[in-house]
Each structure stands twice: as C-alpha cells, then as structure tokens.
C-alpha cells in the first residue's frame, strides 16, 4: 500500500477534524501518501482529491465541522456513479480509504468494495447520534451531549425565573441517546425517547406532582423522534390539560452539530483515526473502528449497520428515578 485517501461524509460532527488529522499524520509516519477527498462521495466521483501533509491538518483538532466538507450524494447510489468514483481513485493510484461517517457512509462503502474489491475501506464512526453498533461512543456524540446540556442549563435559568414548563427538543430521529444523557445530566423532570413508549398519563402525573411540590419550573427533554411527534406536538397535547401553565418550547437543532469538540472526543477520534490506518496497513477492510470499554474494536460494516445498538436500561431507570 502506497497511497490512501480519507473523506468525511453524511452529517458533520465535532471530532471529525481530530480523526482526519490522526489519519493523515499516521499515514505519513508510515511512508504513505495521503489524499483528502473533498465533499465525500460527491468529491470522489468528481475527482476532487487534495494531497495532504502534516501542515494540512495543523491547528484543526479544536475545530468543529470538517475541513474536507461533507455532502449527500445521490449519484453514488447508482452503479454508474460508483464506477466513476472507482476510475477517479485508480487514476490517482489510491489503494485504501478511511471513511469517516455514519451508517449511510458505511452502506455505500460496503457496496463499493463488493464491486471493486481492490480498494480497501476502513470506517470511523462519525455521527452525533451514537447509533452504530460496535462502539460505545461515536465521534461527535459526547460534544453534542455537552452542547445540549449547556443549552438546557441556560433554559433552566429562565424557566426558574418565570415558573415555566419547558419542552426542549434535542436531535435523535431514531435514537434517544442525546436526550437520555443530557436529560440525566441536567436533572430534567422527564425524558421522552423513541426507543420507549411514551406513557402520556405518567407524564401528566409527573408534571402534576412537581407542581404540588411547588417545583414550578419543569424541564422535559424530548428526542425529535419521540412517538408523540417532537416537542411542539407534545407541548400542544400537554397544554390542553394544563391551560393555566406557561408552556414554552425550545428546539436546539443544529447547534448540537457544531462547536469545539470535548477532550474525550478529541482523544477518541484521534485514536480511531490512527487505528484505521493501522487496519489498512494490516490488510483489513470493510470494518469500522470502534471503542468498547476503552479498547479498540473492529466491527464489520454489515454488523455495525444492521445490528441494533441497545440502550442501557440502567440509564433509562436512572432518568426515571432521579426525575
């Protein structure tokens, strides 16, 4: 192996730059030529390759987002699009690729390798959702939780000042990991998750109990994929029951994707990037680099995508117990 490439794909997440930096510098230390592919699969098809050196990734570990940019690419879904990408890679002489992204990125990589087995691809899990099997934390998750926690803490200040009931929506269309951890960390009175049936009667009871105890400022954290339909719909439904309450909704949205990555994020992302290059040098391919119990683990793309990551029941119990 002489030349490798790295790209970021799908939704951006804090820590992608730290992972990218580790890939580039580990590759160079092992006498590899390293190329960055701009805008993910879109740039691969267009042949937008940029040769990287150690200075290319200097002073980026603290930056959110991705210096290689990211984009969705419908053309890569087609066989013609993947063929164009392959020809572009062969033109430069790329032997291996590190793909930083989520399940969509790995699905595309898995299909691509089956069609063109001479290109080896290893993945690093870059998504704030923490929804990939084979790793305790994905790149971006810890920062997203801390961002949500900081925002909810600020909302709690104003809720206390005005005796308000706030429904705070965090990202999590299919999974509620951000909601669960940020809810526990901020002492939320309730946390609504896509993985759990929302017990509307229990929610009403909890709100009534808090008001009986003179706790007139209440925070309910809602994952956007909750079965009741997100914070706006939940607030509207609850508002019909408590017409006398001052109810407000705050949707945190894309602020959770940006910002400076946490220390944990930077270390884990760097570790994953280094291990991804090592895997390529060892001839491995079609695997995602994860962290399980603070140790590196390689999981096949197929398992990482298809196996459902189970939510820790003790954390769910903790959220209910401490509410």
Q: Which residues are known catalytic residues?
A: 129
Q: Who contacts 160 (Cβ-Cβ below 8 Å, separation ≥6)?
A: 217
Cβ atoms within 10 A of the Cβ of 169, count? 24
3-class secondary structure, 323: coil
Cβ atoms within 10 A of the Cβ of 114, count? 9
The torsion region of residue 304 among left (phi > 0), alpha (psi -120 to 50) and beta comes to alpha
Q: CA-CA distances (angstroms) from residue 292 to 13, 37, 133?
A: 20, 29, 10
3-class secondary structure, 59: coil
The secondary element (H helix, E strand) that includes residue 288 is strand 287-292
| Contact indicator for 265, 14 with CB cutoff of 8 Å | yes
| Contact indicator for 182, 221 with CB cutoff of 8 Å | yes
CA dist 105 and 68 (Å) reads 15
Quote the DSSP letter at residue 308: P
Residue 288's nearest CA partner among 105, 20, 66 is 105
Structure tokens at 63: 């930056």
Backbone angles phi, psi at 154, to 5 degrees: -70, -40
| Contact indicator for 156, 322 with CB cutoff of 8 Å | no
Cβ atoms within 10 A of the Cβ of 80, count? 10
């Amino acid at each position: 192996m002489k030349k490798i490439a790295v790209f970021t794909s799908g939704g951006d997440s804090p820590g992608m730059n730290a992972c990218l930096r580790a890939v580039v510098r580990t590759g160079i230390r092992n006498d590899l030529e390293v190329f960055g592919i701009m805008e993910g699969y879109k740039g691969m098809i267009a042949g937008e390759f940029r040769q990287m050196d150690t200075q290319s990734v200097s002073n980026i570990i603290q930056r959110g987002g991705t210096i290689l940019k990211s984009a969705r690419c419908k053309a890569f879904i087609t066989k013609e699009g993947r063929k164009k990408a392959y020809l572009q890679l062969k033109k430069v002489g790329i032997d291996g690729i590190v793909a930083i992204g989520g399940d969509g990125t790995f699905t595309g990589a898995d299909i691509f390798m089956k069609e063109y087995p001479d290109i080896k691809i290893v993945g690093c899990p870059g998504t704030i959702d923490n929804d990939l099997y084979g790793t305790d934390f994905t790149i971006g998750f810890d920062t997203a939780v801390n961002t949500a926690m900081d925002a909810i803490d600020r909302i709690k200040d104003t809720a206390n000042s005005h005796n308000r009931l706030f429904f705070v929506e965090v990202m999590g269309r299919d999974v509620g990991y951000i909601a669960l951890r940020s809810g526990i960390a901020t002492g939320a009175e309730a946390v609504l998750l896509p993985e759990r049936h929302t017990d509307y009667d229990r929610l009403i009871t909890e709100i009534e109990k808090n008001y009986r105890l003179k706790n007139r400022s209440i925070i309910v954290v809602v994952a956007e994929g909750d079965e009741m339909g997100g914070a706006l719909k939940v607030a509207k439904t609850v508002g019909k029951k408590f017409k006398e309450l001052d109810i407000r909704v705050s949707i945190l949205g894309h602020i959770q994707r940006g910002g400076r990555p946490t220390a944990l994020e930077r270390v884990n992302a760097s570790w994953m990037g280094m291990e991804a290059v090592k895997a390529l040098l060892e001839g491995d391919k079609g695997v995602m680099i994860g962290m399980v119990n603070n140790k590196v683990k390689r999981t096949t793309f197929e398992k990482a995508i298809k196996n459902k990551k189970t939510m820790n029941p003790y954390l769910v119990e903790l959220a209910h117990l401490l509410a």
